[in-house]
Copies of this chain bind each other. A is one copy, B any other.
Amino acid sequence: MQGKIALEEHFALPETLEDSRGFFPDTIWDELRARLLDIQDRRLREMDENGIELMILSLNAPTIQAIADPAAARELARRANDYLAEEVAKRPDRFRGFAALPLQDPAFAAEEMERCVRDLGFVGALVNGFSQVGDEATVTYYDGAEYRPFWRTVEALGVPFYLHPRNPLLPHARIFQGHEWLMGPTWAFGQETAVHALRLIGSGLFDDCPKLQFILGHMGEGLPFSMWRIDNRNRWMDLPPTYRARRLIGDYFRENFHLTTSGNFRTPALADAIAEIGVDRIMFSTDWPFENVDHAANWFDAAEISDADRRKIGRDNARALFGIE
């Protein structure tokens, strides 16, 4: 399919490269580093070869969220956003930008969000899970009351918020200790991000901000498979919910969330996601450079869905959500 739009597509600044270093052998790291630093060259070739007209770009993970010093987080976020705006300006026909936001400081994050949308023309934000704030062991999720003004700003700006994965801190998630192979995209990314999303829903965020729209990658981080059970376990008991939100969790999921295919190129998972959230809320993405553009595109272009659905997921849903003509 030609004309695809992809929206979980990362780049790095030289100073954020190390965040993607992992334990890769040198051969992998050389390649990954080159992919992360490039925007205008190989990336465009990959897009051209794989029918991608537009990428919405975002800084790599966890970067801003892992900087415990709020001032440093603020400074880096601004710099990353300015850099991204310049790069997008070189090819406005091929790129758009997501803001990096220092949610260690919700008031500043709201300001930066406004600046990014109004002055830099960004189409939303992408944030890598919880923030460490003050010291490395202190984490903050965004369901707390202190984040409501930030969310109202995002809602008022009318742009979506991409909740991107990061790993839990090992002391906070003991089941992974000694089993670090489960970290990252293998498993921990999904668990961490799904629960963060559920905490946000349960907090009543979407009662307060009913128009706020979130995006989750990786076909919904496992939520489509489990959403029925979340709302239907122990059904005969007919118990009132013990979370703060007013409706079923799935109601918010179906009205305030969108999913992308990033890093999850499996048709039964796509079918499951369509059955849960509807085809209008699913969008193509690759997760470049951690996944290959051709792996994503070859799968998607041939996936056994209707061409009408392919056009929506591949392009039209993103156009509608981001107001792209």
Contact = CB atoms under 8 A, between A and B. Distances in A.
A279 interface: yes
16 contacts: A173-B175, A175-B196, A176-B195, A179-B202, A181-B243, A191-B195, A222-B225, A225-B225, A229-B264, A229-B266, A235-B292, A268-B272, A272-B272, A276-B306, A278-B308, A279-B279
B185 A233 contact: yes
Given A174-B173, A187-B230, A304 B267 contact: yes
A109 interface: no
Interface string A20-56: 0001110010001000000000000000000000000
Q: Which 9 A-B pairs have the closest CB atoms?
A: A278-B308, A185-B233, A225-B225, A268-B275, A172-B174, A278-B306, A228-B266, A267-B304, A181-B242
Interface residues of A, number: 76
Interface of A is mostly: helix
Nearest to A177: B172
Contacts of A179: 195, 198-199, 202, 243
Given A175-B192, A269-B272, A186 B304 contact: no
Nearest to A203: B179
A156 interface: no
A234 B225 CA distance: 22
A281 B311 CA distance: 14
Nearest to A35: B236
